[in-house]
């Protein structure tokens, strides 16, 4: 079996005053991507298309899996 793993992580940090609940800083999101994925500025994650390898004795229904 071949397994392709693609991961995308988004982190957004907001610092809020514990007493007044006023937002002190509101940082833009940061992204960490493992694998071939893209993350748009709106947070939409798009993973790459993965090729499905042929295996003797098996009939595949798809040659690729879309991201």
Query: Would you place residue 17 in the very low, low, confident or very high pLDDT band (cuts 50, 70, 90)?
Result: very high
pLDDT of residue 1 exceeding 80: no
- Indicate the pTM of the whole model: 0.40
Residue by residue, DSSP assigns 2-66 as -----EEEEE--EEE-TTT--EEEEPPPEEEEESSEEE-TT--EEEPPEEPPP-TT---S-SEE-
What pLDDT score does 18 carry? 93
Query: Would you place residue 39 in the very low, low, confident or very high pLDDT band (cuts 50, 70, 90)?
Result: confident
What pLDDT score does 64 carry? 73
pLDDT of residue 61 exceeding 70: yes
């Amino acid at each position: 079996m071949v397994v392709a793993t693609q991961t995308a992580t988004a982190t957004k940090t907001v610092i809020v005053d514990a007493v007044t609940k006023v937002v002190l800083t509101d940082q833009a999101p940061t992204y960490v991507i493992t694998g071939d994925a893209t993350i748009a500025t709106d947070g939409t994650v798009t993973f790459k298309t993965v090729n499905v390898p042929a295996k003797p004795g098996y009939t595949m229904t798809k040659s690729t899996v879309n991201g």
